[in-house]
């Protein structure tokens, strides 16, 4: 299993409909885990919606696939803690959406300041990682969101002591050829 890849645009059809912290199994409906072009062993699933309109549960690394609608994950540490939200309660037919990526696995460890998983956090106090294929992207926002390089980029937003918005960006893995598109988490993430 590679430490990262160059695809931030992996097919993510269907919904996550169930999850077990005990067995580390993710269940889906209409998903295509293991099929060509879809989630594979070593890929990362970002569970939920990273926006103010949804609930974001965090990330998991796929270690095995039992079928198109079931996969096992390595650990639960990069998910929101059970005390904040019990992901196993996501069992309705509606389920929750997800994204699949090949972002660097080491970036999953310190995400509890993510404002989309921690209702008390207004900004992303910890680094979030995006696959950036062009340096011109800023989503129509301030120039502070413009990227300085291509690759897997860590982005941290916060309010400084003067009350100004700060956006810190660091290229974690410099590489060209990252695939982004409709199946990827867009940078910057819409609120």
Looking at the chain, the whole-number percentage of residues with pLDDT higher than 70 is 73
Please determine, for residue 38, whether its predicted confidence score (pLDDT) is greater than 50: yes
Please determine, for residue 84, whether its predicted confidence score (pLDDT) is greater than 50: no
For residue 83, name the pLDDT band (cuts at 50, 70, 90).
very low
Residues contacting residue 32 through CB under 8 Å, at least 6 positions apart = 11, 13, 14, 38, 39, 68
Q: What is the mean pLDDT of the chain?
A: 77
For residue 67, name the pLDDT band (cuts at 50, 70, 90).
very high
Question: Comparing 10-24, 40-54, 70-84, which segment has the lowest mean pLDDT?
Answer: 70-84
Output the six-digit token pair for 63: 């270690």
Rounded mean pLDDT, 88-112: 71
Rounded mean pLDDT, 160-187: 84
For residue 57, name the pLDDT band (cuts at 50, 70, 90).
confident
| pLDDT at residue 114 in the model | 53
More confident residue, 124 or 21: 21
8-state DSSP, 84: T
User: Mapping DSSP to helix (H, G, I), strand (E, B) and coil, where does residue 87 land?
Assistant: helix
Rounded mean pLDDT, 152-156: 85
| pLDDT at residue 140 in the model | 59
Helix ranges (H only) for the chain are none
């Amino acid at each position: 299993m590679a430490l990262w890849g160059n695809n931030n645009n992996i097919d993510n059809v269907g919904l996550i409909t169930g999850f077990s912290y005990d067995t580390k199994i993710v269940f889906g409906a209409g998903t295509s885990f293991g099929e060509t072009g879809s989630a594979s062993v070593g890929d990362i699933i970002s569970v939920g919606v990273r926006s103010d309109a949804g609930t974001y549960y965090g990330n998991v690394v796929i270690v095995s696939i039992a079928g198109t609608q079931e996969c096992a994950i390595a650990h639960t540490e990069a998910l929101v803690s059970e005390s904040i939200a019990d992901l196993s309660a996501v069992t309705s037919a509606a389920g929750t959406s997800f994204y699949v990526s090949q972002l660097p696995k080491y970036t999953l460890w310190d995400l509890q300041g993510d404002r989309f998983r921690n209702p008390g956090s207004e900004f992303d106090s910890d680094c979030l990682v995006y696959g950036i294929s062009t340096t011109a992207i800023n989503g129509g926002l301030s120039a502070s969101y413009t990227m300085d390089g291509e690759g897997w980029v860590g982005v941290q937003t916060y309010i400084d002591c003067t009350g100004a918005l700060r956006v810190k960006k660091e290229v974690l893995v410099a590489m060209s050829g990252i695939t982004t598109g409709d199946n990827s988490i867009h940078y910057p993430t819409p609120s």
